[in-house]
Amino acid sequence: MQRRTTTAGTVLALLAGLVVSTAATSAAADPAPPPPGNAQSLAVSAADRAAASGLDALAKGPEETYERQAVTPWVNDLYSVAYQRTYRGLPVVGGDAVVLADGKGAVRATESATDAKISLTTQPTIDAAAAEATSRARLASVDKVESHRLVVRVKDGHSNLAWETVVAGRTATAPSRLHVFVDAATGKVLDTVDDVKAGTGNSQWNGPGIPIDTQNSGGSYSLRDPSRPGLSCADYSSGQVFTKSTDSWGNGQASSKETGCADVMFAAQKEWNMLRDWLGRNGHNGNGGSWPVKVGLNDVNAYWDGSSVSIGHNQSNQWIGSMDVVGHEFGHGIDQ
C-alpha cells in the first residue's frame, strides 16, 4: 500500500506510473478474472470503503467525509475513483482525493491533495454580498456573477472558511471566469483560480482530405461528433454549429472558420482515441463525454473556460485549430 500526499494536479501523473508498473506484475501473475460485469463494482466498493475508513493518504477527521465524484477506467483492470472531501457538510476545495483500485476489489494506491488537519467554525462573519463585491473588483469588467457558495479552502497546509464566488468577464487583456475565495472571517482574498487558460498562437495544419466524424440527420450534415458526446464545433460569432448539405468541410484556407473547425474536429477526435488506446480513458472528460468548441475568437490566442474551448487566430489572421493548440486547451479540461 502506498501513502503519499501530493497536489491534485500531480495525482493522475503518479497514477499513470502506477498503471505501468501494475501492468508488468499483472502480466506475470495472470490471476483468474472476476465474473464479467463485476470488475468495476468491486473496484468502486473497495475504493468507497477506503475513503470511508480514511485509509492511508485519505486520513481524515471525525467531521470530514468523502463523496464520490467520478470513476475512470484505466488499463489492466484498474479504476481511478475520485472523491470530494467535505467538512461539516461544506466542500473542501483543495481536499480532493483519488483511490486506485483493481477489478478484484483490492486498493492499489491512495492519493490526497492535502494532509491538512481541518478544525474551524462554519459560521461566516462576512456575508455573501460583501464577498461578491470583493470578487467583482478582481476583474476589469464583469458580465455576470455565476455562483457563490460557502466552502473550506485548503492551500499550502492551511484551511480557512471562505466564500467561493465565480465571476465571468474580462481582465485587462483576456476573457476570464474567475473563482475568487474570500476569507469568511476577514473579508480578504485568499486565492483566485481562473478557468480560462491561454494556449499558444503557433498554427499547424493537419493536411488535405483529413477524415472526421460528423453527424448526418435527414440529409443534413453538422460538425457534431456522433460517437463522442459533447464534441462539436461552431462559429464563435453566431454560436451555431456548422451545418451543410454535403459532408465536405472547409476550403483548405486557414482564414476560413469552417476550415478551422475541420482541423479542430480532427485534432479532438485523435486526442480522444489516444486517451482511449493508451490510457483506457473513457472520453475527454473521463465519463464518456467531451466539450464544444467555437472558432472565431477575435484574439491572438485560444482559451479553455471551464466547459468549452474558444479558438482565436495568429498574427496572420489564420484560425489556430492545430493539434498542439487543441490538445493544449482540451488538456486543461482533462486536468480540471
What cell does 215 get? Answer: 453527424
pLDDT at res. 28: 33
**pTM, full prediction:** 0.61
- Grid cell 470583493 is found at 134
Q: What is the signed CA dihedral for 94, 91, 158, 305, rounded to 10 degrees?
A: 40
Per-residue pLDDT of the chain (336 residues; tens, 9 = 90+): 333 333 433 444 445 444 444 333 333 334 444 455 589 999 999 999 999 999 998 999 899 999 999 888 888 899 999 999 999 999 999 999 999 999 999 999 999 999 888 999 999 999 999 999 999 999 999 989 999 999 999 999 899 999 999 998 888 877 788 999 999 999 999 999 887 654 333 334 566 778 888 887 777 889 999 889 999 999 999 999 999 888 888 888 888 999 999 999 999 999 999 999 898 899 999 999 999 999 999 998 999 998 999 999 998 889 999 899 999 999 999 987
The H or E element containing residue 86 is: strand 78-87
Distance from C-alpha of 202 to C-alpha of 161, rounded to nearest angstrom: 42
User: Kind of pairing, strands 292-295 and 243-244?
Assistant: unpaired
C-alpha span between 248 and 250 (Å, rounded): 7
Domains defined along the chain, listed by start: 3-112 (3.10.450), 128-194 (3.10.450.40), 215-335 (3.10.170.10)
pLDDT at 81: 94
Q: In whole angstroms, give the CA distance from residue 275 to residue 287.
A: 12
Q: How confident is the model at residue 197, as a pLDDT?
A: 57
